[in-house]
Amino acid sequence: MWSACVSPEARRSKQRREAGYFRSSGSGGSEGSANTAGAGTEVLPPLRKPYVLELFCGTAGVSAAMQKRGCDVLGMDHKLKPRCMKASAVRVDLRDPVQQDMVMREVARAEAVWVAKAQSRFGLKHTRVGFRTSVELIRNASQAANDLYAFAARVFEFCAANRKVCVIENPTGSLMWLTPWMQRISNLGIFHRTQNCMYGGARDKRTALFSTHELPSMHLLCDQSHRHAPWGKVRVNGRWQFSTSSEAEYPAPFCAAVAADVCAILVQGGWGMESKPISHSALAAQAVQRQARREAACVGPPEFLSRVTVCIDLEMPVPDPMPESAPDCLLGVPVGSKLLLSRKIMKGDCLVREVTYGIFRTPDEFVKEAMKVRHPFDAPSALDDSNIQAMANILSAGVEATKIFRRQRIEYYRSRAAALQQEEEKLKSTMDPEVRRIVSSKHITLFDEMLRDAGIQDPSLVEDLKQGFRLTGELKPSGLFPRQFKPASLSTEDLKATAKWSKHLAANSCRRAAGDVDVARKVWAETLEQVEKKWLKGPMTWEQVDRRFRGVWLASKRFGVVQGEKTRSVDDLSEFLVNSSVTETERVILDGVDHIAATARFFIGAADSCKGTFCLPALGSGTVTGYLHDSFRAGVRGFKGRALDLKAAYKQLARRPADSWATILAVCNPEDDGVHYFEAVALPFGGKSSVTGFNRMARSLKLIMSRLMWLVNTSYYDDFCQVECDELAESASETAEQVLGLLGWEISRGDKLKPFARSFDILGVTISFARASEGLVEVSNRAGRIDDLVALLDDIASQKRLCKDKLASFKGRLLFATNHVFGRCAQVCTQLIGQALRAHDGASVFQEVVKAAKEALHMLRQSGPRQITAWGGEPPVLIFSDGACEDEGRLVTHGAVMFDLATGCQEFFGNRVPGWLVTKWRRTGLKQLIFFAEILPVLVAKLTWKHVINRRLCFFYLDNEAARSCLIRSFSPVCDATDLLVSVAKADLQSHAMSWYSRVPSKSNVSDDASRLQFGRYLHMFRKVDPVYEGIR
């Protein structure tokens, strides 16, 4: 009998394959064909904008131009003027080798890099001492300039080797071009010579660009058609200055030309500059059938059917829009086309003008394309692939196989823990004693193995667990979250320098924060309790701390925050700049209420028992499909969920001993009014890096449970939400607790650890699966929240005067509550409170505010829970609307066209806006009423066709962006518009329609004629209906 020798790593790889991870089949996947590849590190979301860096950015003019074209930008310079900045920028000393390496990591993830001239920023003007300039200072300035030239060449060389766009800008006559570093890279790029006067500059400034790619717009030399302003001293705002300083900033046309060329290169490289990236929060909102206010998907046919680019004579006038009598060279461009771009470029040896026109669809063509668009609420995108894999594995393997799989996995890792025990003890013997004491229960070697088995590639998580998490300095990227660079505003050494004065200020700051004696007592008691648990060391006097750290230490005050019946102690690491010394490289994304509801929606709507198959959304696009196991063929009995909470989560991880000097906490003892000092050994609650470090751990635990144990779960800080089918609820409960127990994580027990249930509370809301058999997930406010709001409002009303602090608290709590009811009616009503405050004064303001608050609260009660439905594939209703305002507001009309794709019904209406509404809109003196006229037909359409849109998915197409944004946000600062929005929200509440507001160009809007009362095009294919105005405020 032959036996094979298999290494532990090979055995674990085999087990990962046998776990049956399902992968997206995409649009080309066949039913039941789910690949079983290993899972890679999950980064959410996958969609992003092209990232552009501007080094030595000055006022960040190039960044601003790139941002307008849809890029994600970041400027960097050693000195910034906040009031002059045109785009986001950070302070970075590019002479510092450490910061150079940090910038190079950002260059590695950027698609394009602009490197401006550096010598004026570090030249002699920064080294003058009175009227004398020493030879030594000149030598230092020259060395600094050379260091920057070398760094610029290093950036360019890296970009050229990695096919990134890089442009170095400097004056044509700069000696930089003759340095050995520039000579070394001279064969890697293309030189461009320009004169600023051709890009809006006032003077004959000659500029050279060295680029990895050809920039067609950046070859313009002076054509002698204009006069140049003189060089020398000029008087600006009453002060004399050299004219060179006014030319340091790029002219806006120069930045626009650069941005156009760079974006064209990015488009050629595959970046879709037309498509708008979707944020993770917007994806989550879309998955639970809400249109996000910002960064949502652009759904619907593209604005232009196509684009056409033509080169014309430089002197030829450029029409916009395209007229009927176009020049001969533009005769092929349709009438009405929109000018998108006009620029001068070199074509061969000739200077010509390149123009690009966008060609609109006809209204009929646009409608035809709109009918093909699937409603985004019916085509969700997965928010993470690990839970989708777990769901697919469960549905295909069946109930008993899943139970067995989980038990076997637990037994396997229990045996691995025993096998690794000796290695674990050896590891912990080498650890710092304080760190070892905090993480003594953690099985680090087993955790390391499970990370690898789950395909989690955080390169430093295990080391941070062993050595403690940093509280200052640069946080290394984990690969678990999207990259986002946010450098520290001061270095660790600078932070230590501030300790000389800040350590003397902590005591007074602490006493000021301890004004509430009851809260201060609870904070002091909790602090002493943490000392007993070895999470803190102390108490110590100021002198003892100063001796311990030899004068270099920082103290952060600890204060209490009342949260219901509980007081939470918070460590303020921001006040004395500890948090400011942290360089972040990622943006932490949490799984909030929308993510939980979306995950449940995917699971509940996956199985099709009639066909015996399941279908789940994939990450990005496409679907994951497969065959249901026999145990699910008759349908899933139901679903349950629960919250799983880690106990004192931050205190289960240690801070790095090297940062102990920055973790001193000042706590006030209310009994003697003395301030005592404690050293935090566990992660302080209030540190920026504590948040990042703990969430890396929480995300890893979530992925371990979903990928290795097939547990569907989400993580929000220390709260894990589990969702499971009835048949597997007990298995999921036992498995999750055993996994965390094996790894040494302590979970909250007692009242906090509840069993799986149809309805459960988490993150301040109640999630119910009671109607899961109908394909519904319900999200509502936690029991008692609305009653608390009623009590608070009664308290405000009983005082007979306006208490703005209590009103602000009421509004904040009310706004949170409005997020968890159906529609946005209650949310819009909260705006009436602010409008009442602004519109009234004296005695009337109190009564008006209370009246508005009561109406908002009434609508909150009436709205009912949010209902998230399973996707079904029913065709949506399309409604196009438009308004017209002519003769200075004397003639205001509106109209709409409706297409019911399920029944084939096509109807329209068009009418003058009722006189009482026009009078109401004009009462403030407005003459141009088009904004109101664009919102009104949407409201009238919802009232007129409420029988058609009842519980249906709807598209509303508008050609007015202000009105569309107003409807998406359910907000307007204009009082009369708010009244319309309240009516819109009430109409939604009656119909339970789920609307998505999309854009249609005016040239393509089929309702344009209806709004102008020109009905000829509709008479043969549409039925005319009378508009309904009942219910409009």
What DSSP string describes 608-677?
ETTTTEEEEEPBSSSEEEEEPPHHHHT----EEEEEEEBTTGGGGSBBPGGGGGG-EEEEEETTTTEEEE
What per-residue confidence (pLDDT) applies to 748?
93
Residue 406 corresponds to which amino acid?
A: R
pLDDT tens figures, 676-723: 999 999 999 999 999 999 999 999 999 999 999 999 999 999 999 999
What per-residue confidence (pLDDT) applies to 637?
83
Q: Where do you find CATH 3.40.50.150 in the chain?
A: 51-222+250-268
- The span from the CA of 778 to the CA of 939, in Å, is 27
Q: Where do you find CATH 3.10.10 in the chain?
A: 486-587+666-686
- Domain 874-1024, CATH number (from 3.40.1160.10, 3.10.180.10, 3.30.420.10, 3.40.50.1000): 3.30.420.10
What per-residue confidence (pLDDT) applies to 125?
41
DSSP state of 343: E
Q: Where do you find CATH 3.30.420.10 in the chain?
A: 874-1024
Whether the Cβ atoms of residue 87 and residue 237 lie closer than 8 Å to each other: no
Residue 705 corresponds to which amino acid?
A: M
What per-residue confidence (pLDDT) applies to 80?
81
Q: 916: which residues sit within 8 A by CB, 6+ positions away? A: none
Q: 881: which residues sit within 8 A by CB, 6+ positions away? A: 894, 895, 896, 897, 934, 937, 938, 941, 956, 957, 958, 1007, 1011
What per-residue confidence (pLDDT) applies to 842?
55
What per-residue confidence (pLDDT) applies to 203?
83
Token readout for 718 is: 């220390």
Whole-angstrom Cα Rg for the chain:
32
| CATH classification code of 486-587+666-686 | 3.10.10
Site of tokens 């301030």: 675
Whether the Cβ atoms of residue 339 and residue 321 lie closer than 8 Å to each other: yes
- The span from the CA of 273 to the CA of 50, in Å, is 8
Q: Which residues of the chain have pLDDT under 50?
A: 1-46, 119-132
Whether the Cβ atoms of residue 381 and residue 277 lie closer than 8 Å to each other: no
* pTM listed for this prediction: 0.83
Per CATH, the architecture of 51-222+250-268 is what?
3-Layer(aba) Sandwich (3.40)
How many residues belong to the chain?
1033
Helices (H), 332-397: 363-370, 385-397
pLDDT tens figures, 307-365: 999 998 888 889 999 998 888 888 889 999 999 988 888 777 788 888 999 999 999 99
Q: 961: which residues sit within 8 A by CB, 6+ positions away? A: 999
Could you tell me which of 1015, 978, 45, 944 has the C-alpha nearest to residue 482? 45
CA angle 65-70-74, nearest 5°? 60
Sign of CA dihedral 432, 436, 437, 438: positive
